[in-house]
Amino acid sequence: MIKIIDKRLSREELTVLCAEYFKTMVKFVVDVEKELMAVGGELQADAETLLLQQGSSQHELWGGNFYPWNEPEKRIEYTSFINIRPSDDNADMEVLNGAIKDKIRMMCERLLMPANEIMPEQD
């Protein structure tokens, strides 16, 4: 399941999305212009496709992984195959632009989990 969100997920929803494929993390794609996020699924490419179908622009989409049970500074990985776009000055799986990374971090903290929040331990 992939959810497209513009409002914060509950802890329960985030836990379910994590458990679906990877247990300790969830994949995401953000539209940094529209401030939408597609969360869940097995591949960021699938989330990217959903956002493109809803009118997002390719150069505004960036993928990563979110680990809610990690300490705040280790929750976000800014890596995905969809980020390899030399035409957008990003020739790596990791997002290289600091301003885009900041926008992704802010969106993750707003839509997934604030930095000052702690996720209860998994069973």
Give Cβ neighbours of residue 27 (< 8 Å, ≥ 6 apart): 21, 39, 40, 41, 42, 43, 44, 47, 63, 64, 65, 66, 80
The pLDDT tens digits of the residues spanning 61-106 come to: 999 999 999 999 999 999 999 999 999 999 999 999 999 999 999 9
| pLDDT at residue 123 in the model | 62
pTM of the model: 0.95
| pLDDT at residue 7 in the model | 97
| pLDDT at residue 121 in the model | 82
How many whole angstroms separate alpha carbon 112 and alpha carbon 37?
9
From the number of C-beta atoms within 10 Å of its C-beta (0-12, 13-18, 19+), residue 13 rates as middle
Write down the domain spans for the chain. Answer: 2-111
**Residue 54 DSSP code:** T
